[in-house]
Structure 1
Amino acid sequence: MSHVQILKELDVDFMGKRYIAAVLSGVVLLICLGSILFRGFDFGLDFTGGTVIELGFEEPVEIATVTNALGEGGFPAAVVQYFGSRTDILIRLPPVAEGEAASAQRSDEVLRVLDEAISGQVDLRRVEFVGPQVGEELREQGGLAVLFALIGILIYVAVRFEWRFAVGAVAALIHDVLFTVGMFSLFQIEFDLTVLAAVLAVIGYSLNDTIVIFDRIRENFRKMRKGTVMEITNRSINQTLSRTIITSGTTLLVLLALYFLGGQAIESFSLALIIGIVIGTYSTIYIATAIAVWLGVSRTDLLPPPPVKEGEVVDDRP
């Protein structure tokens, strides 16, 4: 199916800049890995366990006022944030040794403290509790989900295209995942289940873009009988550039709207997707395709085998 051509076909030497891109990616990934290893993540309630309480105030309230009231009332470790408007407050409390029953009682205590400290009616809208053991299991299962997704993609691309393309595709996806989660670690942005879901979505999105370019490369290897691997690869990337800009651009517009207007609940999710889509577009060209070229993909790897006439004996000895 044809797509709208918003750019005239360019002649950019993408592969000629692959060494610069490799150095840049290496430096950034080292920074991300260092942050992940030494700083870790600011895990949300989903992974650490604890209690989340959603409150509705009659009048707009300042976060500092709520935080100070909770600190004086015996909850110094409470994390307070807006949940949509200035009258909607989300409070996160760390887990307690007493277990779920104690956490349920804490919500009543929080409501009592705020009722006494802040004028106006306070409504308890939602209380959720996640145990520490459940949070640890979610971390493990999330990591396994990413690992199995990468293994499945490696097998799929190897079968559909060629093993060099499969290695490049998986390397690009690992690059995207490390970069996205590394940014969350580097800037200590809260990492919860919605971010993990966004990381899995980024894997699928980035793979889609990679498959489009790989498919065009294979097609051009069969159509263009003249031309080096570098020329055909650059031609393929330039031919799909218009589609990439349309797809990534429209998706980013939606995600930016969600990030700025969607509220606190989906802010981290939107941010992870924004980072992932931007870096995924880059890695499709300078990681996935560049690695396939470095590994020596050639025309003979992608051309279909010649038809065998009836009765003809094929000598496949080396």
Structure 2
Amino acid sequence: MRLRLVPEVTNIDFFKFAPVTFGASCVAMVLSLVAWAFFGLNFGIDFQGGTTIRSESTQAVDVGAYRAAIQPLNLGDVNITQIFDPTFGPDRNVASIRIQAQDGEQSVTPETIGAVEEALKAVDPSITFPSVESVGPKVSGELIQTAFIAVGASLLAILFYIWLRFEWQFSVGAVAALFHDVILTIGIFSVLQIRFDLATIAAILTIIGYSINDTVVIFDRLRENLIKYRKRDLREVMNLSVNETLSRTLMTSGTTLIALIALLILGGDVIRGFVFAITWGIIVGTYSSVYVAKNIVLFIGLDREEKPTDKGNQFANIDA
């Protein structure tokens, strides 16, 4: 017996409410951009510049006492957060102390870090400092620029690839879906104020790759069906294509989510932001493959008389 998440033959009308689903995606993108503008992103030390000190103690973390101990040092913006993790035992209390880069300095000096550690030890003698991360403001600014260039370059490369392999309408739909995924990911990070660092950028690039893979699979089936059913309405052929690949989509997304949810719960706080971004991205990426990419192709339309032909365009047979 084979496991089936969906029946062997389905006839779901995915485009019955196409204007509504596409409109909801547009609204979600606008709200994400508004949240980004108003709340900003909780940049990690990679992007903000400064020093992050990770502390561990057998005693409960008292954020107020930590802050009061550090305040006389006049270090400016100091962010102290307690880190919760289900894998931590009752005698493992972890906190993150983030200190902004000081004026005229590329990063927080070792003397300042030592002063912070001594001040915290006065509050809690059992406290230890397993890690210290420092990034200068110049380096962090370059990292932000490079990160966004990497995301933009990947989107342009995908636009060019889909244009060659399919048609320009497909490339517009695919890249719009990827923009949708990236913007919604940034929006959720802004609303929840989850730490946004280089690991998150890596997660966004992973999301782009995963989402375009799902989109290309459906596009490839759509191209085959457009040749096979030349007289059928474009919307009907799109519905058929999505239904024929539905089992594959659910199996791929479902098995990936099982592993990601396990990592999200048990993986620890160090990778939680990265795993959360990929988990969220798979959900919105699966949605956008149908309700954004295909909707745009449906709205733009295709010239069924000339494209695609039985051979497709000259690059259609390039191996993915």
Q: Residue 190 of structure 1 contacts residue 268 of structure 1 at CA under 8 Å; is this kept in 2? A: yes
The structure-2 alpha-carbon separation of the partners of 1:268 and 1:102, relative to structure 1 and needing over 3 Å to count, comes to closer
The structure-2 alpha-carbon separation of the partners of 1:60 and 1:219, relative to structure 1 and needing over 3 Å to count, comes to farther
Letter in 2 for 1:64: V
Q: 1:223 maps to what in 2?
A: 228
The match for 2:99 among 93, 101, 121 is 93
Offset, 1:102: 4.7
Greater radius of gyration (CA): 1
Q: Residue 5 of structure 1 contacts residue 243 of structure 1 at CA under 8 Å; is this kept in 2? A: no
Q: 1:309 maps to what in 2?
A: none
In 2: Cα distance, 1:175 partner to 1:124 partner:
40
Q: 1:301 maps to what in 2?
A: 307
In 1: Cα distance, 2:200 partner to 2:113 partner:
26
Q: 1:61 maps to what in 2?
A: 60
Identical-pair percentage: 39
TM-score, normalisation: structure 2: 0.87
In 1: Cα distance, 2:84 partner to 2:137 partner:
24
* 1:130 is aligned to 2:131: no
* 1:162 is aligned to 2:167: yes
In 2: Cα distance, 1:61 partner to 1:112 partner:
18
The residue matched to 1:15 in structure 2 has which SS? coil
Q: 1:6 maps to what in 2?
A: 5
Matches within 5 A, 1:204-215: 204-215=209-220
1:235-293 CA distances to partner (integer Å, 9 max, x unpaired)? 11011111111111111111112122112111111111121111111110011111112
The structure-2 alpha-carbon separation of the partners of 1:88 and 1:35, relative to structure 1 and needing over 3 Å to count, comes to closer
TM-score, normalisation: structure 1: 0.87
CA RMSD between the two structures:
2.2
1:131-165 CA distances to partner (integer Å, 9 max, x unpaired)? 11111111111111111001000000011111110
Q: 1:112 maps to what in 2?
A: 118
Matches within 5 A, 1:150-189: 150-189=155-194
The match for 1:140 among 145, 159, 166 is 145
In 1: Cα distance, 2:108 partner to 2:227 partner:
68
Q: Residue 52 of structure 1 contacts residue 129 of structure 1 at CA under 8 Å; is this kept in 2? A: yes
The residue matched to 2:60 in structure 1 has which SS? coil
In 2: Cα distance, 1:151 partner to 1:101 partner:
35
In 1: Cα distance, 2:82 partner to 2:111 partner:
21
More displaced 10-residue stretch of structure 1: 161-170 or 262-271 = 262-271
Offset, 1:24: 0.8
Matches within 5 A, 1:270-285: 270-285=275-290
More displaced 10-residue stretch of structure 1: 34-43 or 20-29 = 34-43
The structure-2 alpha-carbon separation of the partners of 1:39 and 1:119, relative to structure 1 and needing over 3 Å to count, comes to closer
Matches within 5 A, 1:32-51: 32-51=32-51
Q: Which runs of 5+ in 1 are unaligned?
A: 307-318
More displaced 10-residue stretch of structure 1: 278-287 or 59-68 = 59-68
How many aligned positions are there?
302
Q: Which runs of 5+ in 2 are unaligned?
A: 313-320
* 1:255 is aligned to 2:256: no
In 1: Cα distance, 2:107 partner to 2:28 partner:
45
The residue matched to 1:202 in structure 2 has which SS? helix
